[in-house]
Chains A and B, each alone.
Chain A
């Protein structure tokens, strides 16, 4: 299996606080991976390092075997935890901005997704509900023809119906050869669509593996495995 992304011994501190502590992991091509951890575990920091938005203290990140940088950015489509869209824009203007920024933006796909998710081009972002804004962000990110999609908490604060729409959108746009990293603490909502999981806690990778193999081994859901690991630690 070809490796798409590799992190080697990553460390990151903010002031004196260690946020990532010797993180090493590999992401293969063609997989949906869950980056799972509690709030503050280091998930978003790791994602920002992969997207070259923060500098690495020590360690390496390789994308298709080469250090990340300008080249990797154009092949990674990133959904940040917080919106960066200018809310005075309409959806049509956001589409235009994306197609100017990213040569791999597929306007046809974006329009189809817009229809599937019941949104209209003329809508102003400021007037849309939180769930609608999350859908729009996802449409923008999934409409790029990228090698790697990184979705940071794509289900934060949306209702169950919207959550299903978002998962459907991720699945139906997931194409052969590309990979998706979904970072979330809402494990039970996403675990069914994951190939592999990476558990991260206190800045360290504590467990990696195939979701189905872990279910077979522990005879329980990924959510329960996660909870038993971290709830047990709490009692010490």
Chain B
């Protein structure tokens, strides 16, 4: 069983933080496309949260079609590579927005911000 490190702050709904972190686990390939997820109970113990809260998070991922239930066998990650790529792109866009917002706080424009990224990329 692939073990994931969960981290929470208590100031936001726990189930939302579970959704976010499971989404990352899926798009990063920690839980690869088409693979079987640990059971609700196993995931709850891993995250040290209430199984009801974990269930709520999984229901949300399921309604986003990122995971699906195979009647008796448990829950699986979607095999839809296009959907996985789309969600990965959404997460990347959010991260880029956060980066630009942080840079603007210290007075650096988006155009200038790109230079820093290029520099990091070794160009």
**A interface list, Cβ under 8 A from B:** 30-32, 164, 167-168, 171-172, 174, 188, 191-195, 211-213, 215-216, 219-224
Interface residues on B, range: 10 to 19
Q: Is the CB of B10 within 8 A of A221?
A: yes
- Interchain Cβ contacts under 8 Å between A and B, 11 examples: A171-B44, A171-B51, A174-B50, A188-B10, A192-B49, A193-B48, A193-B50, A195-B50, A195-B53, A215-B14, A224-B11
Q: Is the CB of A31 within 8 A of B12?
A: no
Question: Is B13 part of the binding interface, using a Cβ–Cβ cutoff of 8 Å?
Answer: yes
Question: Is B45 part of the binding interface, using a Cβ–Cβ cutoff of 8 Å?
Answer: yes
Least CB separation from B12: chain A residue:
A215
Q: How far is B50's CA from A172's CA once the two chains are assembled, in angstroms?
A: 9
| Chain A residues within 8 Å of B11, by CB | 215, 219-221, 224
Q: Is the CB of A215 within 8 A of B8?
A: no
Q: How far is B54's CA from A192's CA once the two chains are assembled, in angstroms?
A: 11
Q: Name the contact of A195 in the complex, choosing from B13, B16, B52 (C-beta under 8 A).
A: B52
Q: Name the contact of A212 in the complex, choosing from B14, B41, B48 (C-beta under 8 A).
A: B14
Q: Is the CB of A222 within 8 A of B10?
A: yes
B10-54 interface with A by 8 A CB criterion: 10-16, 41, 44-45, 48-53
Q: How far is B12's CA from A215's CA once the two chains are assembled, in angstroms?
A: 6
Q: How far is B41's CA from A123's CA once the two chains are assembled, in angstroms?
A: 31
A contact face: mostly helix, strand, loop, or mixed? helix
How far is the CB of B55 from the nearest CB of chain A, in Å?
10
| Chain B residues within 8 Å of A221, by CB | 9-11
Q: How far is B40's CA from A174's CA once the two chains are assembled, in angstroms?
A: 13
**B interface list, Cβ under 8 A from A:** 8-16, 41, 44-45, 48-53, 56
Q: Is the CB of A192 within 8 A of B44?
A: no
| Chain B residues within 8 Å of A194, by CB | 50
Q: Name the contact of B49 in the complex, choosing from A193, A215, A220 (C-beta under 8 A).
A: A193
| Chain B residues within 8 Å of A31, by CB | 52
| Chain A residues within 8 Å of B51, by CB | 171, 174
- Sorted nearest first, the 10 A-B pairs with minimum C-beta distance are A221-B10, A212-B13, A193-B50, A221-B11, A215-B13, A216-B13, A220-B11, A172-B45, A32-B50, A195-B52
Least CB separation from B15: chain A residue:
A212
Q: How far is B13's CA from A191's CA once the two chains are assembled, in angstroms?
A: 11
| Chain B residues within 8 Å of A222, by CB | 10
Given contacts A215-B11, A224-B11, contact A192 B52 (CB under 8 A): no
Q: How far is B8's CA from A222's CA once the two chains are assembled, in angstroms?
A: 14
Q: Is the CB of B10 within 8 A of A215?
A: yes
Q: How far is B47's CA from A164's CA once the two chains are assembled, in angstroms?
A: 12
A212-B13, A220-B11 known; 14 new pairs, CB 8 Å cut-off, are A30-B52, A164-B48, A167-B48, A171-B44, A192-B14, A192-B49, A192-B50, A194-B50, A195-B52, A212-B15, A212-B16, A215-B10, A215-B13, A221-B10
Q: How far is B14's CA from A215's CA once the two chains are assembled, in angstroms?
A: 9
| Chain B residues within 8 Å of A164, by CB | 48
Q: How far is B45's CA from A195's CA once the two chains are assembled, in angstroms?
A: 15
How far is the CB of A63 from the nearest CB of chain B, in Å?
21
Q: How far is B51's CA from A32's CA once the two chains are assembled, in angstroms?
A: 10
Q: How far is B58's CA from A64's CA once the two chains are assembled, in angstroms?
A: 30
Q: Is the CB of A192 within 8 A of B48?
A: yes
Least CB separation from A221: chain B residue:
B10
| Chain B residues within 8 Å of A213, by CB | 13
Q: Is the CB of B13 within 8 A of A168?
A: no
